[in-house]
Structure 1
C-alpha cells in the first residue's frame, strides 16, 4: 500500500458480484494474473478455486466466515457510501490494465453506475467484460487492430466530437451526445480502427472476441 493505493506492475482481474463462470475467470486471469475482488465477490472467487490478492469494498456483503479466512491486511474496507464497490476498487488500484467481470448483465442500475465510473475516472485503463461484449472508456486516441466486419459501437455519456478512421460509416464532423446522435452498430473495414474523441465521456463497445485487441490498444494509448 502506497499513498492509499495498491500499485501492481501486472494487469489486474477485478471480480464483481454478478455472474462469474470458471471459464471466464480463467480466461481473464491468463491476461491479467493479479486477482482483486469487490466485497462479497471474494466468496465467489474462493468457490472457483482462486484466492484474491485483495478484497476492496464497504464489506457489507462479505460474510463473516469468508472474511475470517483472509489476512486482514488484504481487506481494504472503505466505508463511505458515495461510491460503489466497483468505483472504490477502481480508485484504489493502479495497474497497466484492469479487466472487470461480474459487473454487467445483472441489475441495470448497477451496470449503469459502472459505466458512469469509467467516464468519471478516464485515467483508469479498465475494460468491463460481459457475456457478449466488452466496454471501455476511450482514451485521447486509440488504435484498434480489428478484423473487417467487427462491430464497433461508440456510445457518448457526454457531448463529444469524434474523429475516426477504419469504420464503414464515417463520424468525422459529427457531435455525439446521449440525448442526440450516438455511434452504435458501426463496423470495422480495412486497416486499424483509429478513434480520437475531443473530450472525455465516450464509451467503446466491442464484441468479446476483440478483448485482446482492446487490451493492446489501451495499453499503448495516451492517457
Structure 2
C-alpha cells in the first residue's frame, strides 16, 4: 500500500478504544497531525477536532458523525485480513506514530494492535494506555531513564538481546512468548538495548511518553519492512 498520510513530523493516530482525559491534547502536543482509524474519529469530533484523514473499513462511524468530516478525508480499505489500526499504521509515513484509543475497550483488539506493531516493524509506533506505553524495540535503543523505572520486555516471537543499565541484564537469554519473558525489570539509570529481531515490545510507565517519542524520532536505524 502506498502512503495515504505523509508527514515530516510525528502523527497522532486515534482509535475507538479508551482514551484518558487529556491524552489527545498530550499526543497532539508531540505529534500535531491528527489521523483517525475508522471509529476513532468519534473521539476526535467529541473534542472539537476534525482529523486530516480517516482510514479503515468504515464500518464503525455513525452517519451523523461521518457528515461532520469532509468526504475527501475518508480512505476506505475494504480487506478484512487486518484491523483498522493496522490499515492506518501501514498507510502513515511519519517519523513516529502515537496511538491513543487502542487499549482498554477489548482485550482482543489490544492484542491485535501489539500484533500489528510486530507485523510492521518499519513503522515506529507508540501505543498509549491509561497506565503505560508500549512500542516495538528498534535494533538499538537508548533511553535516559531514572533509577527505579519499571522496564518490561515482552517478546512476540523468538528474540535475543543485550542491555546496559537494567537491574537484571538480558544478555545470553532467549525470549519467546511461551517461554522466558521480561516483565518488571528495572532501570538502574539510563538504559541501552540491542535486539536481534523485531519481536520485542518495550513497556514503560506512561510518564515516559515524551522521552520515548524524542528517542525514537532521533533513532537512525530501523527494522526493514517484512516481505
**TM > 0.5 fold call:** yes
Q: Residue 9 of structure 1: CA displacement?
A: 1.4
Q: Residue 4 of structure 1: CA displacement?
A: 4.4
Q: Residue 3 of structure 1: CA displacement?
A: 4.0
Task: List 4+ stretches of structure 1 deviating above 2 A.
Answer: 2-5
How far apart, in 1, do the equivalents of 2:94 and 2:186 lie?
A: 30
What TM-score comes out, normalization by structure 1 length? 0.96
Show structure 2 runs of 5+ residues with no match: 223-227
- 1:100-150 residue CA offsets vs partner (Å, 9 max, x unmatched): 011111211000000000011111010000000000000111101111110
- Could you tell me which residue of structure 1 aligns to residue 32 of structure 2? 33
Residue 86 in 1 paired to residue 85 in 2?
Answer: yes
How far apart, in 1, do the equivalents of 2:187 and 2:164 lie?
A: 9
Show structure 1 runs of 5+ residues with no match: none
Residues matched between the structures, number:
221
- Could you tell me which residue of structure 2 aligns to residue 158 of structure 1? 157
Further displaced range: 106-115 or 18-27: 18-27
CA contact (8 A) 2:19 2:129 kept: no
Q: Residue 64 of structure 1: CA displacement?
A: 1.5
Further displaced range: 126-135 or 22-31: 22-31
Question: Equivalent residue of 1:188, what SS?
Answer: strand
- Could you tell me which residue of structure 1 aligns to residue 206 of structure 2? 208
Question: Equivalent residue of 2:22, what SS?
Answer: helix
How far apart, in 1, do the equivalents of 2:147 and 2:94 lie?
A: 31
Alignment of 1:157-196 (within 5 A): 157-190=156-189, 192-196=190-194
Change (3 A) 1:206 1:80: same
Aligned residues: CA RMSD: 1.3
How far apart, in 1, do the equivalents of 2:179 and 2:99 lie?
A: 29
- 1:138-178 residue CA offsets vs partner (Å, 9 max, x unmatched): 01111011111100010000011110110011111111111
How far apart, in 2, do the equivalents of 1:55 and 1:69 lie?
A: 12
Question: Equivalent residue of 2:65, what SS?
Answer: helix
Q: Residue 69 of structure 1: CA displacement?
A: 2.2
What TM-score comes out, normalization by structure 2 length? 0.94
How far apart, in 1, do the equivalents of 2:169 and 2:54 lie?
A: 43
CA contact (8 A) 1:22 1:48 kept: no
CA contact (8 A) 1:168 1:186 kept: yes
Q: Residue 20 of structure 1: CA displacement?
A: 2.2
How far apart, in 1, do the equivalents of 2:155 and 2:180 lie?
A: 9
How far apart, in 2, do the equivalents of 1:168 and 1:196 lie?
A: 16
Q: Residue 35 of structure 1: CA displacement?
A: 0.6
- Could you tell me which residue of structure 2 aligns to residue 198 of structure 1? 196
- Could you tell me which residue of structure 2 aligns to residue 114 of structure 1? 113
How far apart, in 2, do the equivalents of 1:20 and 1:158 lie?
A: 28
Further displaced range: 69-78 or 86-95: 69-78
